[in-house]
Amino acid sequence: MTRVTFLEPPAVTERNPERFAGCTYELYHFPDLGNLYAFTMLHERGVEVDYLDASLLGDDAAAFERRLAERPADWYVLHAVVLAKPTDLHWIAALRRLQPSARILVHGPEATRVPAEYLAVGGALDPQVIVVRGEMERALVDLVLGEMPEPPYGVSRVEGAEVKTYAPDPRGYIPFDDLPIPARDHPALDRYRDRYFNPKYQGRPHALVLTSRGCSFRCSFCVPNAISFAREMEAFTTTGRKPPVAQASPERIAREFQWLKDRGYRSVHVADDQFLWARKRTLEVCRLLEPIGMEWGMLSRADFLTDEEVVAALARAGCVSIDIGVESLRQEVLDRINKDLKVEDVYTAVRLLRRHGISPKLNIMFGTTPDETPEDVYWTVAELKKLDITNVMFAIATPFKGTAFYDHCRDNGYLIDESDDLNPMGKAMISYPGLTGAQLEELERYAYRSFYLRPKVVVDRLRRARTVKDLVQDLRVAARVLLH
């Protein structure tokens, strides 16, 4: 029987890269949904699948190599995001040494952007490695099952002395309802379930869920989650525009929540770049989720949270936490970055969420435009302190390669670091005439310490810890954030 092993190998960098969002280092460990759909599709087709997550297995490099040697596979799969590139290149070379006859499939936004870097580890083009581009599930399954047509679709591969790249799947994008519910009850995944947590939720075991791919908004700085980013990267290369959003039906969303509830999961984070869309659809989702009785949360824009009927329905459906992409409380900054959002909607959303018992978390980003000043940042932090919130994430706007923001910063001389050593939580890659990179880093440190080291916030964090273990985990996350 064919055996396929999906890998999250030990990091060779000082910190562990987070692979699902794909744009930062871990504060706590997410399951990588970028691998779970293909894992499940292969399992449903009778393929023997395994999932080795070194972080949760507690493996260092030597232990991980021993594990790979003990259970060799025919195929290995890596989900390549930019911060994991040093780790992935290291382990591609290690796999070629340990299992020279095995094939290696690499997918994700960074492999889609620069496939040759993954196809020539060690300096020579390697036909044993194949990059599966963009939305990868169909192509990956066809490769493993030997059903890939010739010429192939959706891949970059070595042919002779060159890299050949083939057009995307002619069938187009996968309708979301055609994707399987990830097989979290498979023994290879079920062994990890009690290790996943999110400090915003009390219920455990906790699950990360996706109900759409892509976002139709035009924020100039945006980097979506890694699944959506890979789709966007390939679409911009082939069509010059964003791909369409793929949304799950309300019934598909409810089925996955019920599936999780039936298997003992007690909380869910919906990790879509944008979960709420049309009012009618949102109310139908809430109607279906309410009887399931799960604790859950999501990401949303503020302007989808200004309708009190919608917010009340979310609360009745079990929603307890919402991350809101705000970026700035200065209207002129939002206008410059094409946020298409009115600042007053943020205040309205926070007020309605608090009224209905939903905890808002605001995401703020510094340096999205050269027009922003230190005074804008100080003012935004002061305004945040006035709001009835205890949860804010601050980050420095980071130009990821392959985005319009990167091209803009490079072309205008704002880019001060062109390496792949990114970290939106702590490192500036840009510097403006009125807001330097050093200032951005210091302002982010100021924002975290000024906002979080207040009695109101400290007491709230302590109050939410149910056990000593919860408290220790929360303190570790806080230390990473405040001391970064």
Q: What's the rounded Cα separation, in Å, for the pair 76 and 79?
A: 10
Look at residue 471 in the predicted model and tell me its pLDDT: 46
Residue 259 backbone dihedrals phi, psi, to 5 degrees: -55, -45
CB atoms within 10 A of CB 230: 29
Mark out the alpha helices in 4-136 (DSSP H runs): 33-44, 54-57, 61-70, 85-98, 109-113, 115-119
Structure tokens at 266: 């007690």
For residues 126-134, average pLDDT: 98
SS3 content of the chain, % helix, strand, coil (to 5): 40, 15, 40
- pLDDT level of residue 480 (50, 70, 90 thresholds): low
Tokens of 331: 């209207």
Locus of tokens 């949102």: 282
Q: State the average pLDDT for the chain.
A: 93
Q: Alpha-carbon Rg of the chain, whole angstroms? A: 22
Judged against a pLDDT cut of 50, whether residue 419 lies above it is answered with yes
Supply the pLDDT for residue 470: 53
For residue 270, the number of C-alpha atoms closer than 13 Å in the C-beta half-sphere is 30
Average pLDDT over residues 415-428: 92
Residues 6 or more apart whose Cβ sits within 8 Å of residue 467: none
Q: What are the CA-CA distances from residue 383 to residues 65, 265, 266, 455 (Å)?
A: 51, 37, 35, 17
Who wins on pLDDT, 267 or 422?
A: 267
Distances (CA, A) of 403 to 232, 372, 400, 468: 9, 20, 6, 43
CB 409 within 8 A of CB 337: no
Q: Which tokens is 264 given? A: 């003992």
Rounded-to-integer distance, Cα 282 and Cα 319, Å = 12
Domains and CATH numbers, the chain: 3-165 (3.40.50.280), 181-482 (3.80.30.20)
Tell me, what amino acid is at 109?
Answer: P
Q: Where residue 455 falls among pLDDT bands split at 50, 70, 90?
A: confident
Is pLDDT at 194 greater than 50 in this prediction? yes
68, 6 Cβ separation under 8 angstroms: no
pTM as predicted: 0.93
CA–CA separation, 200 and 321 (whole Å): 7
pLDDT at 1: 86
List strands edge to edge, sheet with 295-300.
206-209, 267-270, 295-300, 319-327, 359-366, 392-396
Q: Which of 117-126, 263-272, 413-422, 461-470 has the lowest mean pLDDT?
A: 461-470
Dihedral (CA of 393, 394, 397, 400) sign: negative
Contact between residue 266 and residue 203 where contact means Cβ atoms under 8 Å apart: yes
Q: Determine which helix (DSSP H) or strand (DSSP E) holds 467, and give its type and residue range.
A: none
